[in-house]
Structure 1
Amino acid sequence: MGAVLADLLDRYRPADADEEADVERVRRLLADASDPWTRAIPLHVTASALIVHPPTRRVLLRWHARQEAWLQVGGHGDPGETDPVAVALREGVEETGLSDLTAWPDAAVVHVVIVPVNAKGDEPAHEHADVRFLLATDRPGEARPEKPDAPLRWLTVPEALAATSEPNLRETITRAARLLEA
């Protein structure tokens, strides 16, 4: 069930020892779990993306009420989904209304991070093995929030860095900035 993700990870080079440890945990998850995407296990795969508009070098952040933070788009795979790029694209379209999203500059992994998730209601605390990508749009003006309590904001890289205090997202934004400047 994790063949697509395993292939992506084989081509990915972690940036530091912490990320290397997270990638290794994802590899073990792929080897040990019959379905690494299922929410039934304490560590499961999610896919997310930072949406960019390369001509203006802006990034799109979405307000996540549960985390009370400006974050990237993304989430869990639906039953049967095993391609993290497809999951990130589906989530991106659902959360922004942008129907022209494409992997940018290609479909390579940009960041891998294990993210702790607090318990809520009957859902226990768990971890997301978040595999991150960049998605681009040619029509930033068409972005529409999925729901009223999930506004979207196009921001310059410095504005995006100021809008979030999440170190892992700040790292994703920094990696995107390097590609936007190239």
Structure 2
Amino acid sequence: MGTVPAGVAALLAGYQPADDTEAGDLARMRALVERGEDPWSRDGALHLTASALVVHPESRRVLLRWHEKLGSWMQVGGHADPGETTPIDVALREGREETGLADLRPWPAADLRHVVVVPVPETPREQAHEHADLRFVLATAAPETARPEKPTAPLRWLSLPDALDLVVEDNLRETLSRVELLLGPE
């Protein structure tokens, strides 16, 4: 399969979409991986990213990060670094870098929780493109140790209802709803 790690293909092959929109995004991701090129490469108009919602299960809160470029509150995550090929590892590294939380772990397991293709608008430094985002859930036992990676990317711990009110992207609302189901009834 060329530079494509078998793990990404297997992860996508075993994933069950929740609706037609997610099924369409999943099909695009599978086609991207099946091309045999590096699906993480930023050179493509569509490329893989990995992200996660960080939760503190005991308080039922989620951590959101301000994304300056998009002007909205988002989950943590982003692009793979050179040599990275495992989506959960990308999400964990990005989560640790963006929150300062050293104890992040997949929660309740390292399962893929949502797949979504999201448009990224053009900027002076890059053309418009799309992220084929693989979403996970990470947990911390030490929410008080969260620190933003930079002053322009503040962090906020929120209840799920408050997070749902704050985010503007429907796809992130869907991810939050899935996390709410994982957390179970109060």
TM-score (norm 1): 0.98
Match for 1:74: what amino acid?
G
Unaligned runs of 5+ in 1: none
**Secondary structure of 1:79 counterpart:** coil
The number of equivalent residue pairs is: 182
Could you say which residue in structure 2 is the equivalent of 1:21? Answer: 24
> Any runs of at least 4 consecutive aligned residues in structure 1 with deviations exceeding 6 A, and if so which?
none
Report what 1:52 is aligned to. 55
* Equivalent position of 2:126 in the other structure: 123
Q: Residue 142 of structure 2 corresponds to which residue in structure 1?
A: 139
Secondary structure (helix, strand or coil) at the match of 1:119 reads: coil
Instruction: Indicate the residue corresponding to 2:67 in structure 1.
Output: 64
Indicate the RMSD between aligned Cα atoms, in angstroms: 0.9
CA distance in 1, matches of 2:113, 2:62: 15
**Paired residue secondary structure (1:21):** helix
Q: What TM-score, normalized to structure 2?
A: 0.96
Could you give the per-residue CA deviations for residues 11-38 of structure 1, whole angstroms, max 9, x where no partner exists? Answer: 2210001101100100000011410000
Structure 2: segments with no counterpart, 5+ residues = none
CA distance in 1, matches of 2:130, 2:35: 16
Name the structure 2 match of 1:90. 93
Contact 1:2 1:36 in 2 (8 A): no
Residues in 2 aligned to 1:24 and 1:56: alpha-carbon distance in whole angstroms: 36
| Shift, 1:78, TM fit | 0.5
Say if 2:161 is the partner of 1:154: no
Find the counterpart in structure 2 of residue 174 from structure 1: 177
Partner SS state of residue 119, structure 2? strand
